[in-house]
Each structure stands twice: as structure tokens, then as C-alpha cells.
Structure 1
Amino acid sequence: MKPFDPRLLRYARAARGVFGFGALLGLVRTLAILAWSWFLANALATLVLPVLGGEGGGAGRVAEGAYGPDQVPFLVGGALAALVVRAVAGWGMDVVAARGAVRVKSELRAAALDALDTRSPLRDGSRSDSELTTALGRGLDALDGYFSGYVPQLLLAVIATPVLVVAVLIADPVSGITVLIVFPIIPVFMILIGLATQAVQDRQWAQLQRLSATFLDAVSGLATLRIFRREDRQTARIEGETDEYRSRTMKVLRVTFLSGFVLDLAGTFSIALVAVTVGTRLVAGEFPLSLGLFVLLLLPEVFIPIRQVGAAFHASTEGLAASGEVFDIIENGEGSPAGGAPVSTGGRAENGLAADPAAPDSATAGGLSVADVRIDRGGREVVGPVSLTVAPGEVVALAGPSGAGKSSIIAALLGFLAPAAGSLSAPAGIAWAGQRPGLLQGTIAENVALGSGSPDPARVRRALEAAGLPGFDPDLVLGAAGSGVSGGQAQRIAVARALYRAWTHEGSALVLDEPTSALDADSEAVICAAMRAEATAGRPVLVVSHRDAVLEAADRVVRIGANG
């Protein structure tokens, strides 16, 4: 967990404006603080000196550099003007931060959703849907505290603190050197407290994700839980997770409050040490009163930004933890190649992977072609070389044991994976149904026509009938994650979606990944007939399957085997 992650500027352009305009306003605010301290110190000295020692002021150098009584209105007016500029600059920083937070969250969400749209269906599944929802929802919303509270203080700590320390050094080298000696105490405390805060915050964030996942599981399986009368057990489980999250939240708050107390205490001792030296020299008449007041007015301003940035950081750690996950989502989804993009050619078939014996030297126009494709993961070859072609009007089955790389080949054709070697070619459009149906909450018609601006009711019914669901009501509403239908029905709805898209986009290929794994023999025969109908219509059809009926229905079968 970093106080500032450079990836924020890379993936959210609005953040650049926040830091740029915020830094400019912070500089204006710092200059206003200097002016306010100078005007106020001289005004107070001018008013106090006659009281201390008559018109001539106090003893020694106390009255040195003092203004006359006739300059008091000018000094007071300057102090008030500087105070107004300081307030306006501070308000401007808050406005820039608040508005920037809204734009930054929008840009990060859009970038993360784009990454999720382009990621491979072969993702490792390290993040569940509930974790993604929590990170993109509650997590990014927590960035409001980061931008409204932490960023302005961070900018002031970077800009105001050095300028004010230099001003103290110029005004009084003794006080400036004292500040430089005691100032590092606060950052040291911040680092130590930050390490403790990171640990408790990471545990709280992990607990929040577990709570979200538990709640989503309970909602998704509520009907089943009611049937078996197990809802009370899930209620107790959610109560336990909620209580654990409450406990961890209180631990985070405890560390935050203690860190604020420690930083305030360190800052107070540092200011008191400098104030004692200034006061001692004033009493001895070795220091001008106006200069002493100027230094004493600046001292709190020197320590305030670094104290407040520590407290604000601890209050915004949830947003930082969530943003780190969002950056990971964005980066893991980047770099997906365009479908059908050619890559360097590979060699002959080896490692027990068979090339398509019927594959011609070049891709058939309008068909699918995979030529000597290799796929690597983590620097290790997991698939290849594999060659196959699917001509228009042909059904080709891709078979092999689990882990042989069948789905990886499909992902490469779809553009989700970049092959390490070989070449791929495909029509402009591919209608695809994966191993996971990927149904969404909404009507069956909306799921079948997913991505279409205005679904065609007749085409939806035709697709459902071709997929073996002739009696299904297209207006039936599915629940969260497509709940409300059986696994086999969900699989056929996914096939109907692929058929709908194939019919909508002329010249597209049909690619099905294990379309009958959850179907009985009769339903499987319907899907095989649908594939044959699409091939008869002139479409290239590629199906991944290990089912004998599907393999027998294909014109050719290309078999691949697992590496060594």
C-alpha cells in the first residue's frame, strides 16, 4: 500500500489535473501564509511595543525593525487580505480534489470494465464476481476520502513544508536549524504507524470481500436453501462475518486515532522546543519582537501539513487498498491482441500435439485457420504447435484430454490470448459460446440478444428453438447470475445466444466450447443438428468437445494431447 501510486496518473488522466491545479493552489496558499504571518507579526509588535517599554519599545533588540503606529491599518489590512487569499486557495484545493475524485473514479471504473471485457475466459478465477463488485463499487468510492482529505495535505506537505522551513531559516537560522533537527521525528513515527495500519487495513479489506462473497452466495442459492431449510445456518454465517468485519473496522479506527494522537504530540513538542528558544532570546533582548512573532506564527504551519497528511493517509487506506486491486484488474486485462492478428510462424507438430492432417497450406477464404500455433504461460509452453482449418460449410471438432489446450486455442482465435508463435486467421465476426453460459439478470430474450440494441423477437424464438428450447418464454426473467434455470437450460440459452449473433452478422463463424457437457442425449442431438444446419448454410463451425455424439456429428476431428 503506497501513499501515492504512479499508476493513478497513468490510468486516470483526471488525477493529473487534480495534482497540477492542486499544487498551484497549494503554492498560492503557502505564499498567503507567509504574507499573513509577516503582516500579523508586525501589526502585533507595533501594538505591543509601546506597552512593553513606552514609545521606545522594549530593551535591547526587541524594538528592532518595528513599524510606526500609523502603519497599523496597512498591516492589519494586509493580514486580512492574505487570510482571504489563504482561505480561497484552501477552498479551491478542496473543490479541485472533490470534483477530481468523481472523474478519477469514473475513469478507473471504465478502464477496469474495459479490461474485464477484454480479458481471457481462461482467467485463473482468483477474484470472484463479488470481489470485483466490491472493488469497483465500495472500494473506488472510498477514494473520495483519499482525494478530499489526503491529496490536499500531501500537496501541502510537499510544497508548503519546504518553503516554510526555508522561510524560518532565513528569518532566524537558530530556529530553522532546530526545526530541521526535530522535524524528522514525525516522518519516523508516520512510517512506523503506517506499517501497523497497512496490516490491519489489509485484513479489514479482505474481511469485507469475504462478507460480500458470503452474502452473494446466500442470495444466489436462497431458493435451494429454503427448499432444504438451511437458511438459518446462512443467516448465522452472515452475522458472524458481519461481526468480524465490525471488529476489524474498530481496530482500524483505533490505529487511526492513536496515530493522530502520536503525530500531534510529536508536533506539539517540536513547536514547544523552538518556542522556548525564541522566548528565551526575546526576554534577554537578543531578538526583535516582530521577527520572533513571525517565527512563532510560522512554526505551526510548518508542522501542520506533515501531521495532517499522516492522519489523512490512515483515514483513506481503504481507498488505497481497493485502488491497488483495480490497477491489477486493469493491467491484467491489457495487451489482449486483436482477433486473427498474425504472429511469427512456428515449426512442425511435436510434444504429442497433432497437426490437422487435412489442413491446406493456406487458410480457406472465409474460414478459420490455426497454423503452428504455440501458447506460453509463465515462460512455459503449454499448447502447441497446433494446426487446423475449418472451411465454410464444414463442422470440425477439436478433441483431447482436459488440460491439452483446447480452450486456449479457442481463446487465441477470439483474441483473448496472444500466441507465442504461429498464425491465426478468422472471419470478421465469431459467434461464440463458452464453457460458462455467462447469463445475466434479465429476461431470456435479453440474454439471447445480448449486445444487440433492439432484439428481434422472431429471431430470439428461432434461436431458442434451434437450441432445443422451443417452449421457453423469452420474457421469463432470470435472477442474479442467470439463476432460475437448470445448468442444461443455461447451456442451451448460451448456444441460442451464439446462433442469434451468427444470424445477425453475416459471414461470421460459429465456435462452441463444450456445448453439450450438461445435456442428455436427446438435447445433445438437437445441438448437433443445429451445428450441421449452420454448416449447411455456409458457415464454418468449430466445436470443442469430448462427447462421442458430437465427434461423430463432425466432418473431421482434430485431436490434440497434453504436453509430456
Structure 2
Amino acid sequence: MSSTGVRTGSTRPLDPRLVRRSRAVRAYLVTSIALATVMAALVVAQSWLIARIVSEGFEGSGLVPAVTAAVTGLALAVLARAGLGWAHEVVSARAAVRVKTQLRDEVVGSLLDGTPRRGPRPESSHVVTLLGPGLDKLDTYFARYLPQLALALTVPAVVVVAVFVADPLSGITIAVTLPLIVLFMVLVGYVTRDRTERRWRAMVRLGHHFSDVLDGLVVLKVFGRSRRQTKGIAEVGERNREETMGALRLAFLSSFVLELVATISVALVAVSIGLRIVEGHMTLMTGLFVLVLAPDAYLPLRQVGAHFHDSAEGQSVADDVYAILDDDDASEGRAAGVALAERAYRDQPAPDLTGATIVVDGVSVSYEGRSVPALPPTTLSIEPGRITALTGPSGCGKSTLVDVLMGFVAPTGGRVTVTAADGTSYDLADLDLASWRSRIAWVPQVPGVLEGTVATNVRLGAPDASDTEIAQALRDAGAGDLSPWREVHEEGANLSAGERRRLAVARALLRVRRGGAAVMLLDEPTAGLDAATEREVRRSLRDARVTVLVVAHRAALVEDADVVVALAAPLGASA
């Protein structure tokens, strides 16, 4: 899956993919920069008013009208800064909500629209982690990091100009020392990015491990191994805790480093101002103005560095999101994959597959980051009305070929052509996928089951099927012992693997009989079934009198086939 591969996402302060794909981000950036500019002006005004009030009070002028006006102006400036800060937080929170909603919709849509993918589909546990606590990392990315990034772009520039106008020497000192903050921020950022990346990977591993244990919990309990998994979950959880605490320690230490550099820089300005005031080369008001204003030149940069771990976590999540969305910037070379996926979805309706011949012509599938192809170049012809058995060692690409025929995976080489009974030929890459799949009855290696009843799940093959037809399909699939009204829990948790497989075969048979399907694609439909049930399934496949492609390992199913195609394992792959 993509999340375990090499990271090739953006390492810039602001991920350009978010800007390109999200209107909410673009509007937020414009608003954020405008608010930051106003706040920078208020920072200068506030410092000038403080200096005016203190210098007038030190000189003993009392509450003259000028001082009263300055106090009133200072109060208004403080209130205005507080109001703008609140507005900035509100804008940031709303932008985060809109962006998260948009990304969740895009990820779910990408996984459910059926468009062929260049790479393997991500694991469900990773998607759950990503769409849940993963995208929530964007809250701090928008609420803390990006506002400070906007302030860091405007406030130091305005402050340096204001200080330089009041005192050129102090302005030059601040301009020279500011790059030190940036230098240390970059050094700290590299370390922080790696640590937060490790923390995100640890959380993903924890989600994977927990999901795997849940999936196999029934088998583990049957063999008395469930209690031993507690130790494994505890170890993975402990690694997650260690990475989290390590990231927090690094965040505190990075803040300390930036605070130390900023303090030393402000001290240089303060010493110079103090000496010149004592010697009479600078007025008290000018010195106070520069001294009060100088820390604000460093503050936004310090806070950007302190919040860099929020940026690193947000970009780690964005990298995984765009890996799923096959975005052009997610990694090098994705443009070809996106082009193939777009090419594979056209509006041309699929022809009637009754009597059609399906030819697989040199089809191959390769995934990025893998040296061995998932499916080496393969050529075969699936003749109408005949049963074609696909055999071969594990890893030779049998299930991948079925995924190509279903349109779940776009081939990286070769093509699939369909010749209808009237002699018209079609390229699968030009056909509408929904129309194509409506003419196929499919039994995957791991059948999907919905919460409801057995009848509800079988009726997915033909929504208008009667109860009698459903019962007949169950009997023909060797599932006569399954009551159509039996309750099915979420993901078929209360069904055995054999029951789920028989239910899927019944659904496929009903799709042929009532759903208009003329082709059956079955991936090991008799795995885990006893000999008597297997005979029922084999008889039903023969009696269906449609085109059948079956991935088979069991000898009886292979013997029933009219044509047997043996795939060889790709070079470098283990059998």
C-alpha cells in the first residue's frame, strides 16, 4: 500500500497540492495574509503608544491630553489585536473543517467510484486511521502553523522597516540576526519532520495490527491463541507511545533553542540602546519604541519553528491522502497512472456478452516500487459458453487478472478486447465500467457481505428476485442449510468463511439468472468447502451455460473446466 512506501510528498512549508486542489485553502490564505498585515501595523502602533506613554510619564508631564489620547489609543490597539487574533482562529478552524470535509469526500469517492488504480488499493485499516485521527492533524496545521506562517511573512518585514526608520543601527542588527532564527528553525525542522513521520507510521502500524487481530479473532479463539495477541498489541502500543513522547520532547527542545537565539538577539539590541541613551545619543521615546518592538520581529518566526511539528504531521497526512488520490504531485511518475485511470473510464456502453469472446492480449500489471510485476505479460482467450480454469502458483497474478477484467486495475501493458456475437470488437479501456460490470457475475477471493439478512445479500445479484428464486440459488450454491431470513452481522462476523463463499456463489448465480449477466468471474469459489458442497457448486456452474473464468487450485474444479490456462510465477517471485 501507499502508506508503506517511500515518502515523496511535499516538504515545503505550505503544501502546494492543498492550494491547487482546495478553494477553501486559497480563500483562507488571502484572508490570513490580510489579517496578518493589519496585525503587523497594530504591533507597530502599539509599541509606539507604549513608548509615548512611558516617556511622557517619566518626564513628569502627567495626564495631559496627549497622554490620555495615547492610553485610549493603546487600549483600542490591544482590543483590535485581540479581535483580529480571534477572527484569525475562527477563519483557521472553519478552513480546517472545509478542507477535511473535501479531502474525506475525495478519498471516499476515489475508493468507491470503481476507477482502475495503478497501484494496489490501500488497506481498510489505513484508510480508517487516515480519515479519522489522521485528517484531524490538519486542525493544528491550519489553527497554529499556517496563521503563524502568515504572521512570519508580514510582521518581521514591517517591524524591521519601522525600527530602521526610528534607529538604523537597531534595524540593521535585527535584519542581521533574523536569519539566525531561520537557520536554526530549518535545522530543527529537519529533525522534527523525521520524528513526526516516525510517529505517524507508528500509529498506522498500531491500526494495522489491531485490524489484523480483529479479522482473525475467531480463528485465534478456536485455536486458543487469542490471549497471546494481547502482548503483541501492547508492544505495538508501547512503540507508538515512545514515538509520541519523543516527538513531544523534540517539540519542547526546539522551542527552547529558538527562544534562546531570539533572547540573545534582543539582548544585543537592548545593550546598544541602553548605552546610547546613557550617553545621550538617543531619546528615551525612540529607545523604548525600538526596545518594545524588537521582540515582535522574532516572535512570529519562533512560533513558526515551535509549530513546525504541526506542519510535519499535516504534510505526512496530506502525502498519504494524495497517494490514494493519485495526485500528480504525490510522487514522481504518477501522471502516467492517472492518465491510464482516466483512459480506462469512457461512456461507451458495454455490449451484450452473450456469445462474446474476451481476449486478454499481452496484459501485464506492475506497481511502483516493486521489482516483480503483479501480472507478467499474459495472453489467453475466454471462449463463450465454456469454463476456463486459471491455475498457477501463488503470486503468479491470477487474482490480478480477474481485477483487470473487472476494471479494478488498469493494465500497464497489453489490452483486453471483447468481440460480441455479431462480430463487433470493443476495447475494454473504452467501455463504461458500470455498464461492463452489470453484465458480469463476480465472486471475489474474499466475498463482501452486508449487514442485514442472507436474502438481502443474495438479492444484491438481482434486486427484483423473488423469495423462491433466492432459495433456489442458495440450494444450487450448496447453501440450502442457510435460511434466507438468517440475520447477518456487519461484515459477516457471524458467518463462517465457507458460508460467506456459498452466499457469494448464490448471489452470482442469481445475477446470471435474473440480473442479465452472461459472464462469471470466480476467484476460488470452492475454497474451504467440503466435497459434497463442491459438487453442488460445480454442477451449478456447468448448468449456468454462460462464459465462466474461474481461478482454481482444487483438482476437481480444474477437471471440470473446458480449458485450463496455467500461469507461471514471474521471475524473482516465490511460489
In the superposition, the TM-score normalised over structure 2's length comes to 0.79
Offset from partner CA, 1:259-313 (integer Å, 9 cap, x none): 2122112212211211221232223222243333332232222111111111122
Matched, 1:290 2:285: yes
1:235 and 1:96 map into 2 onto residues whose CA distance is 44
Structure 2 equivalent of residue 272 of structure 1: 267
Q: Secondary structure at the match of 2:325?
A: helix
- Structure 1 CA distance, aligned partners of 2:541 and 2:527? 15
Q: 1:366 to 1:40 in 2, by over 3 A?
A: farther
Report the residue type matching 2:177 in the other structure: V
Change (3 A) 1:123 1:314: closer
1:264/1:417 CA distance change after superposition, 3 Å: same
Query: 1:11–1:107: 8 Å Cα contact kept in structure 2?
Result: no
By how many angstroms is 1:94 displaced? 0.7
> What is residue 367 of structure 1 aligned with on the other side?
356
Please tell me whether residue 107 in structure 1 is matched to residue 115 in structure 2: no
Q: Compared with structure 1, are the counterparts of its residues 156 and 326 closer, same or farther at alpha carbon in structure 2 (3 Å cutoff)?
A: same
**One-letter code aligned to 2:500:** A
The correspondence for 2:404, drawn from 412, 416, 424, is: 412
Q: Which 5+ residue runs of structure 2 have no aligned equivalent? A: 1-9, 327-333, 419-427, 429-434
TM-superposed deviation, 1:109: 2.1
Structure 2 partner of 1:422: 415
Unpaired segments ≥5 residues, structure 1: 56-67, 344-361
Give the equivalent residue in structure 2 for 1:353. none
Counterpart position of 1:388: 381
Cα deviation 1:45-81 (Å, max 9, x = unaligned): 3443x33xx79xxxxxxxxxxxx94433443343333
Measure how far apart 1:244 and its partner are: 3.5
Change beyond 3 A, Cα 1:515–1:561: same
Superimposed CA distance per residue, residues 161-208 of structure 1 (whole angstroms, 9 cap, x where no aligned partner):
233323333332211211122112222222232333334333333332
Which residue of structure 1 lines up, in the alignment, with residue 388 of structure 2?
397
Report the counterpart of residue 153 of structure 1 in structure 2: 148
1:257 to partner: Cα distance:
1.5
Secondary structure, aligned partner of 1:370: strand
Is the counterpart of residue 8 in structure 1 residue 18 in structure 2?
yes
Relative to structure 1, is the Cα distance of residues 285 and 445 closer, same or farther in structure 2, using a 3 angstrom cutoff?
Answer: farther
Q: 1:360-397: CA deviations, max 9, x gaps?
A: xx997773533524324269875435252444xx1341
3-state DSSP class of the match of 2:323?
helix
Instruction: Determine whether 1:307 maps to 2:298.
Output: no
State the Cα distance separating 1:483 from its structure 2 match: 3.3
Question: Structure 1 counterpart of 2:551, which letter?
Answer: V
Spell out, residue by residue over 1:196-237, the C-alpha distance to the aligned partner (whole angstroms, 9 max, x if none): 333433333333233333333443444444444444433333
- Cα gap change, 1:217/1:413 in structure 2, threshold over 3 Å: closer, same or farther? closer
Task: Report the Cα distance in structure 2 between the residues aligned to 1:123 and 1:211, rounded to whole angstroms.
Answer: 23
Query: Aligned ranges for residues 290-369 of structure 1 at < 5 Å?
Result: 290-315=285-310, 317-331=312-326, 336-337=341-342, 367=356, 369=358
Alignment of 1:20-31 (within 5 A): 20-31=30-41
Could you list the per-position Cα deviations for residues 133-166 of structure 1 after superposition, in whole angstroms to 9, with x for gaps in the alignment? Answer: 2222222222222221212112211232233323
Letter in 2 for 1:265: L
1:190 pairs with 2:185: yes
Query: Residue 339 and residue 74 in structure 1: after superposition, are their counterparts in 2 closer, same or farther (change >3 A)?
Result: same
Give, as a single letter, the amino acid of the residue that structure 1 aligns with 2:498. Answer: G
Letter in structure 2 aligned against 1:295: V
Q: Percentage identity across aligned positions?
A: 37
Shift in alpha-carbon separation, 1:413–1:224, aligned structure 2, 3 A: closer
Match of 2:550 among 523, 534, 543: 543
> How many pairs are equivalent?
525
Task: Name the structure 1 match of 2:167.
Answer: 172
Q: What letter matches 1:465 in structure 2?
A: R
Partner of 1:201: 196
Partner Cα separation in structure 1 for residue 347 and residue 556 of structure 2: 34
| Residue of structure 1 in register with 2:51 after alignment | 41
Q: What is the rounded CA distance, in whole Å, between the counterparts of 2:458 and 2:163 in structure 1?
A: 71
CA offsets 1:95-122 (integer angstroms, 9 cap, x no match): 1111121222222222222333347699
Whole-angstrom distance in 2 between the partners of 1:231 and 1:342: 50
Match of 2:228 in 1: 233
Q: Distance in 1 between matches of 2:90 and 2:181?
A: 28
Q: Is the 8 A contact 2:116 2:410 kept in 1?
A: no
Q: Partners in 2 of 1:104 and 1:455 — Cα distance?
A: 43
Q: Please, which moves more after superposition, 321-330 or 442-451?
A: 442-451
Aligned partners of 2:137 and 2:310 also within 8 Å: no
Shift in Å at residue 546 of structure 1? 4.5
Alpha-carbon shift at residue 19 of structure 1 (Å): 2.3
CA contact (8 A) 1:336 1:415 kept: no
Aligned to 1:399, the other structure's residue is in SS state strand
Aligned equivalent of 1:512: 522
Indicate if the aligned counterparts of 1:341 and 1:423 stay in contact, CA closer than 8 A. Answer: no
1:207-222 correspondence to structure 2 within 5 Å = 207-222=202-217
1:433–1:511 CA contact under 8 A, matched in 2? yes
Distance of 1:341 and 1:288 partners within structure 2: 76
Once the two structures are TM-superposed, the CA of residue 541 in structure 1 deviates from its matched residue by 3.6
State the distance in 2 between where 1:245 and 1:558 align.
47
How far residue 503 of structure 1 moved from its aligned partner, in angstroms, is 5.8
Query: 1:510–1:225: structure 2 CA closer, same or farther, 3 Å change rule?
Result: closer
**Aligned partners of 2:227 and 2:564: how far apart in 1?**
51
- Which residue of the partner structure matches residue 497 of structure 2? 487
Q: Could you tell me which amino acid in structure 2 is paired with residue 512 of structure 1?
A: L
**Mean alpha-carbon deviation: is it higher for 111-120 or for 299-308?**
111-120
| Counterpart Cα distance in 2 of 1:46 and 1:368 | 96
Change beyond 3 A, Cα 1:163–1:441? farther
Letter in 2 for 1:367: A
Q: Matches of 2:278 and 2:469 in 1, distance apart?
A: 94
Partner Cα distance (1:437, 1:100) in 2: 40
Alignment match, 1:143: 138
Report how far residue 508 of structure 1 moved: 6.0
Q: Secondary structure at the match of 2:417?
A: strand
Instruction: Describe the SS at the equivalent of 1:184.
Output: helix
The corresponding residue for 2:423 is: none
* Residue 415 of structure 1, CA deviation: 2.0
Distance in 2, matches of 1:105 and 1:320, equals 13
Q: CA RMSD in A?
A: 3.7
Per the TM alignment, residue 316 of structure 1 is displaced from its structure 2 partner at its CA by: 5.7
**Corresponding residue of 2:425:** none
Aligned equivalents of 2:165, 2:471: Cα separation in 1: 83
Describe the superposition over 1:323-368 as per-residue Cα deviations: whole angstroms up to 9, x where unpaired.
332322222895535667699xxxxxxxxxxxxxxxxxx9977735
